[in-house]
A and B are shown apart, each in its own frame.
Chain A
Amino acid sequence: MPDASGSVARVSSEAFVTFDNVGVTYGSGAARVAALENISLSFRAGDFVSIVGPSGCGKTTLMQTLAGFLKPSHGRVTIEGRTVDGPGADRGVVFQQPALFPWLTVAGNAGFGPMLRGAAKSQRTEVVERNLRMAGLWDFRDRYPYELSGGMQQRLAIVRALANDPKILLMDEPFGALDALTREQMQEELHAVWRRTGMTVLLITHSVEEAIYLGTDVVVMSQRPGRIMERIAAPFARRDERNSRAVKSLPEFVAMREHVLSLIWRSGHS
């Protein structure tokens, strides 16, 4: 059962992020499509929120409203009480395709945010070195992104986002393009980063198993128009034991997985 290890810092009862009756529609007239409808959701600092749902349920759209890439058609999104109005360095974003800058070296990508802020060179190299060492990419600092494997590229994309000390990390299917083994390894690394930093994470994924394994909260969305069907508190992310195969075959883990899958299954066939 939930094991409140207390190792996650910055837990507060205040809502950190809120979606307040958010709706997004595309197009107009007969071609009008509702992507999201009546999304109300809030979470606290330090939460790891996983969002799962069938394809086309608006998971990505939901993330984009928080990232500030997309303005909701109605309702509002707030972070620390302030309405989101455009993108910013306080919300780190990682996509399924790493979207790295191929003209910059690994170090250049890792230090992109500090470079934009005009941080002093010494401070920049310090941040870059620390982050690259943590991600096991230090030996590749002078290489270019296209010389890295898919898993390393995605690690670099995460490093690039973390270099800005964001308040929240938004990840859209970050491991979707990786092979199964790399994917499990990356899950462990992401979990370690979350435990160490106490950062708030919003993870969008197709993998129910991943959502439950990593999330403190699992939000299940329905087929278009995307609505929230259920929000489940998942205890596994805060467990100290990190034997992934063992955790994923616990009876309560399997039960939760089957429950979420049946929700998605039902929504997809309604």
Chain B
Amino acid sequence: MTAQPLHFRLLSLLSVIMFFAGWYAITALHLAPANLLPSMGEVVDAFTDILHNGYRTTTLSEDILATLGRCIGGFGLAALAGVPLGLWMGRSRALAASLDYIIQFMRPLPPLSYLILLILWLGTGDASKVALLFLSALPTIVMASMAAVRGVKQQRIQAALACGATEAQVFRHVVLPSCLPMVMTGLRISLAGTFSTVVAAELMAARDGLGWMVFSASQFLRTDIVMMGILILGVFGMALSWGLLRFDTWLVHWRGRE
């Protein structure tokens, strides 16, 4: 995972500039109805307004923290439970077989389909949302961790055994580190999914959070606030993924170099 050469990064930047330029041109030339597509100035105004006065009952930082907190809570719990479970399933055929259908059933299930049940069971507070994110993140993490254990190169294990390793030492010193690349990939995929699910969860039952703000503003046709909310969501989503990617390149320094 080497850094992009400068001219490619400029190219990436150029497309962003093109996007904003196009946006500016459309609103400046009045090519779209103003209530459907706000101008950039209006969005910036909405941002400074909400930054200072908050949106309805919450401040902007409260909304951001609420969304990030749910995300990190649900994802973190899923990682804490899913990685050990998946690793164990990779070792134990019996455990893998007993959970196989449940995981396979959960994996393609749209999380919003069971959100309403979670709200009925756990209420409209954070518990139902964190539970939703936990359940939606779990299958990917479990599957990746299980596949990681099964994919450990036999010769690596044999090399360790011939150095006198016990079963427990093989697991601790060879299997675990060998699994890191695939486990980390599973975590990165599932984090992206978690972030898109958190917003959807906030659309249905919430009193704060970025998703709630966007949904609420859309009901008053405040497209400037909607636009601002989307931009903030996108930036935080990118930041989360980027952070985890940096952690991955640091931790799994041998990725793709064996």
C-alpha gap A107/B69 in the complex (Å)? 42
**Contacting residues, chain A, for B173 (C-beta < 8 A):** 101, 112, 116
Q: Which of A32-77 contact B (CB under 8 A)?
A: 67-69
Give complex CA distance A164, B164 in Å: 8
**Contact in complex: A164, B156 (CB < 8 Å):** no
Answer whether A160 and B164 are a contact pair too, CB < 8 Å, given A101-B177, A103-B180.
no
Q: Is the interface of A mostly helix, strand, loop or mixed?
A: loop
Binding site for A on B (CB under 8 A): 153, 155-156, 158-166, 169, 173-174, 177, 180, 253-254, 257-258
Contact A117 B155, beta carbon cutoff 8 Å: no
Q: Which residues of B contact A160 (CB under 8 A)?
A: 159, 163
Q: Assess whether B155 is in contact with A113, with CB atoms less than 8 Å apart.
A: no
Q: Does A227 contact B (CB under 8 A)?
A: no
Contact call A97/B169, Cβ cutoff below 8 A: no
- A117 CB contacts on chain B under 8 angstroms: 164
A89 to B165, CA, bound (A): 8
* Residue in chain B with minimal CB distance to A87: B161
* Distance of B160 from chain A, by nearest CB (Å): 7
From A67, A68, A116, A144, B165 is in contact (CB under 8 Å) with: A116
Which listed residue, A69, A100, A101, A102, touches B158 by the CB 8 Å rule? A69
Known: A92-B162, A116-B173. A99 touches B155 (CB 8 A): yes
A69 touches B161 (CB 8 A): yes
Query: Is A26 in the interface zone, CB < 8 Å from B?
Result: no
B160 touches A112 (CB 8 A): yes
The residue on B at minimum CB distance from A160 is B163
Question: Count the A residues whose beta carbon is within 8 Å of the partner chain — how many?
Answer: 29
Q: How far is the CA of A87 from the CA of B162 in the complex (A)?
A: 6
CA distance A102 to B128 in the complex (A): 42
Given contact pairs A86-B161, A87-B162, A103-B180, enumerate 13 new A-B contacts (beta carbons under 8 Å): A87-B161, A89-B163, A93-B162, A101-B173, A102-B254, A113-B164, A116-B164, A116-B169, A144-B253, A146-B258, A157-B159, A160-B159, A161-B163
Residue A2 at the chain B interface, CB threshold 8 Å: no
A149 CB to closest chain B CB, in angstroms? 14
